[in-house]
Amino acid sequence: MSLTLRTISREQHLAYIQSLPSASHMQVPAWADVKAEWRSENLGWFDERTGEMVGAGLVLYRQLPKIKRYLAYLPEGPVINWFSPNLEDWLQPMLAHLKHQGAFSVKMGPPVIIRRWNAETIKKGIQSPDVKRLRDMEADFIEPRAFEVADKLRRMGWQQGEDGGAGFGDVQPRYIFQVPLANRSLEEVHKQFNQLWRRNIKKAEKAGVEVVQGGYQDLEEWQRLYEITAVRDHFRPRPLSYFQRMWTALNTEDPNRMRLYFARHNGVNLSAATMLIVGGHVWYSYGASDNIGREVRPSNAMQWRMLRDAYALGATVYDLRGISDSLDETDHLFGLIQFKVGTGGQAAEYLGEWDFPLNKLLHKALDIYMSRR
Radius of gyration of the chain (CA): 21
Give tens-digit pLDDT for 341-357.
Answer: 999 999 999 999 999 99
Q: How far is CA 225 from CA 219, 231, 267, 269, in A?
A: 10, 10, 15, 8
Can you give the pLDDT at residue 185?
A: 98
DSSP state for residue 324 in the 8-state scheme: -
CA distance 60 to 209: 41
How large is the average pLDDT for residues 302-314?
98
| In the chain, % of residues over pLDDT 70 | 96
Instruction: Indicate whether 103 and 229 sit together in one domain.
Output: no
Q: Are 119 and 346 in contact (CB under 8 A)?
A: yes
pTM of the model: 0.94
Instruction: Indicate whether 190 and 318 sit together in one domain.
Output: yes
Instruction: Indicate whether 122 and 149 sit together in one domain.
Output: yes
Between residues 371 and 52, the one the model is more confident about: 52
Instruction: Indicate whether 25 and 143 sit together in one domain.
Output: no
Angle between helices 88-100 and 144-156 (to 10 degrees): 40
List all residues 6 or more positions away from 65 whose beta carbon is below 8 Å from its beta carbon.
Answer: none
Q: How far is CA 327 from CA 91, 136, 167, 213, in A?
A: 36, 10, 16, 34
CATH value at residue 63: 3.40.630.30
How large is the average pLDDT for residues 219-244?
97
Give tens-digit pLDDT for 241-276.
Answer: 999 999 999 999 999 999 999 999 999 999 999 999
Give tens-digit pLDDT for 56-108.
Answer: 999 999 998 888 899 999 999 999 999 999 999 999 999 999 999 999 999 99
How large is the average pLDDT for residues 292-311?
98
How large is the average pLDDT for residues 273-297?
97
Instruction: Indicate whether 38 and 171 sit together in one domain.
Output: no
Instruction: Indicate whether 103 and 143 sit together in one domain.
Output: no
List all residues 6 or more positions away from 150 whose beta carbon is below 8 Å from its beta carbon.
Answer: 160, 351
Mean pLDDT (the chain, rounded): 94
Question: In three state form, how does the secondary structure of 136-169 look?
Answer: HCCCCEECHHHHHHHHHHHHHCCEECCCCCCCCC
Q: Are 354 and 112 in contact (CB under 8 A)?
A: no
CA distance 331 to 355: 29
Backbone angles phi, psi at 368, to 5 degrees: -65, -45
Can you give the pLDDT at residue 367?
A: 75
Task: Pick the closest to residue 282 from 326, 345, 330 (CA basis).
Answer: 345
How large is the average pLDDT for residues 321-331?
93
Q: Are 358 and 103 in contact (CB under 8 A)?
A: yes
Instruction: Indicate whether 169 and 260 sit together in one domain.
Output: yes
Instruction: Indicate whether 330 and 358 sit together in one domain.
Output: no
Instruction: Indicate whether 267 and 244 sit together in one domain.
Output: yes
For residue 12, what are the domain limits? 3-109+353-371
Backbone angles phi, psi at 160, to 5 degrees: -70, 130
Structural domains counted in the chain: 2
Instruction: Indicate whether 95 and 127 sit together in one domain.
Output: no
122 HSE (CA, 13 A, CB side): 28
List, edge to edge, every strand of the sheet that includes 103-108.
3-7, 39-47, 53-63, 70-74, 103-108, 354-357, 159-160
Can you give the pLDDT at residue 167?
A: 36
Q: Say whether pLDDT at 206 is over 50.
A: yes
Can you give the pLDDT at residue 166?
A: 37
Nearest-10 Cα torsion for 95, 99, 105, 107: -40
Can you give the pLDDT at residue 170?
A: 55
List all residues 6 or more positions away from 156 whose beta carbon is below 8 Å from its beta carbon.
Answer: 87, 88, 91, 92, 356
How large is the average pLDDT for residues 155-174?
71
Q: Say whether pLDDT at 237 is over 80.
A: yes
List, edge to edge, every strand of the sheet that includes 346-350.
141-142, 113-118, 346-350, 175-180, 317-322, 281-289, 268-278, 258-265, 210-214
Bridge partners of residue 272, in order along the sequence: 262, 288
Q: Say whether pLDDT at 168 is over 50.
A: no
Q: Helical H runs in the chain?
A: 10-18, 31-34, 88-100, 119-127, 144-156, 186-192, 195-207, 219-233, 240-253, 298-312, 334-341, 360-372
Instruction: Indicate whether 198 and 234 sit together in one domain.
Output: yes
Give tens-digit pLDDT for 118-131.
Answer: 999 999 999 999 99
Instruction: Indicate whether 35 and 128 sit together in one domain.
Output: no
Q: Give the sign of the dihedral formed by CA 24, CA 308, CA 249, CA 174.
A: negative
Q: Say whether pLDDT at 369 is over 90.
A: no
Give tens-digit pLDDT for 10-56.
Answer: 999 999 999 999 999 999 999 999 999 999 999 999 999 999 999 99
Judged by DSSP in three states, 206 sits in: helix
Q: Say whether pLDDT at 232 is over 80.
A: yes
